[in-house]
């Protein structure tokens, strides 16, 4: 006996949802408008099903699913490319949007994408045999960055993350950590609709000289900065 599970996620518009998933490389395997609006998209072995609901508000959606892969970097690059071609930019705020690719504290490298229906699509690849959360760092700078990332990127408490980062940035921080903090604070500013502040923070990060090893270790953060910068109004 074999089983197969398919997630059924809500949306406001089937055409809008289908167009989004087609843009990032999914295939539409089923679509109808009557007797009810419904669609199925597929990417490899991943199948997502969508039902349009009257009066549905995407910003209030709790729809979510987790996709595991053995090539998260490849999927991230593919999805970014598709969104850039479709929208002319990498959307980092609002709906739809795609979040940063990063290594988590629980042994998974992942990114989070929100589709037009507000569904949270987490895509990850295990990079460790131990999938338990690592201890919170004791070193003050590392601890502040850890907590700010947890609050801002995972719990979406942007204001709380901003407070931690503002406190950190007011102190003497080594250049690589300062760049990381500035980029994360810029992301929080974008979510808090303070794009002028985000632009200033990204500009400050650009002015800090980094050694080659630092640029390598900050590759995910620097890519995030590029996406944030290109998504700012007037860019």
| Claim to verify: residue 168 and residue 90 sit in the same structural domain | no
Is 130 inside a domain boundary?
no
Please say which residue of 60, 93, 125 terminates a domain: 125
| Claim to verify: residue 117 and residue 55 sit in the same structural domain | yes
Ramachandran region of residue 50, left (φ > 0), alpha (ψ -120 to 50) or beta? beta
User: What CATH number is associated with residue 59?
Assistant: 3.10.180.10
DSSP state of 227: H
Predicted confidence (pLDDT) per residue in 84-100, tens digit: 999 999 999 999 999 99
C-alpha angle 126-142-72 in degrees, rounded to nearest 5: 20
User: How much is the pLDDT for 4?
Assistant: 83
Predicted confidence (pLDDT) per residue in 88-147, tens digit: 999 999 999 999 999 999 999 999 999 999 999 999 999 999 888 889 999 999 999 999
| Claim to verify: residue 81 and residue 158 sit in the same structural domain | no
d(CA 128, CA 160): 29
Please say which residue of 125, 156, 174 terminates a domain: 125
User: How much is the pLDDT for 177?
Assistant: 98
Identify the domain containing residue 144 by its residue range.
135-231
C-alpha 60 chain-centroid distance: 17
Mean pLDDT for 6-21 is: 96
d(CA 225, CA 6): 35
Is 18 inside a domain boundary?
yes
Is 1 inside a domain boundary?
no
| Claim to verify: residue 141 and residue 111 sit in the same structural domain | no
Please say which residue of 125, 148, 164 terminates a domain: 125
Q: Give yes or no for a contact between 86 and 26, defined as CB atoms under 8 angstroms apart.
A: no
């Amino acid at each position: 006996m074999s089983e197969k599970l398919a997630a059924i996620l809500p949306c406001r518009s089937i055409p809008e949802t289908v167009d989004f998933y087609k843009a990032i490389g999914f295939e539409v395997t089923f679509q109808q408008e009557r007797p009810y609006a419904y669609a199925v998209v597929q990417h490899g072995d991943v199948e997502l099903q969508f039902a349009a609901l009257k009066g549905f508000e995407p910003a209030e959606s709790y729809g979510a699913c987790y996709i595991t892969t053995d090539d998260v970097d490849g999927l991230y690059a593919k999805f970014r490319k598709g969104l850039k071609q479709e929208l002319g930019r990498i959307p980092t705020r609002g709906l739809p949007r795609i979040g940063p690719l990063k290594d988590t504290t629980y042994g998974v490298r992942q990114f989070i994408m929100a589709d037009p229906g507000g569904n949270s699509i987490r895509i990850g690849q295990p990079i460790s045999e131990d999938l338990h959360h690592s201890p919170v760092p004791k070193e003050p700078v590392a601890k502040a960055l850890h907590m700010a990332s947890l609050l801002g990127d995972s719990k979406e408490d942007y204001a709380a993350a901003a407070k931690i980062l503002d406190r950190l940035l007011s102190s003497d921080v080594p250049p690589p950590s300062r760049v990381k903090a500035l980029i994360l604070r810029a992301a929080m500013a974008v979510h808090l609709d303070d794009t002028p502040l985000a632009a200033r923070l990204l500009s400050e990060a650009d002015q800090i000289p980094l050694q080659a090893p630092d640029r390598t270790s900050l590759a995910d953060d620097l890519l995030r900065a590029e996406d944030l910068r290109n998504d700012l109004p007037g860019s």
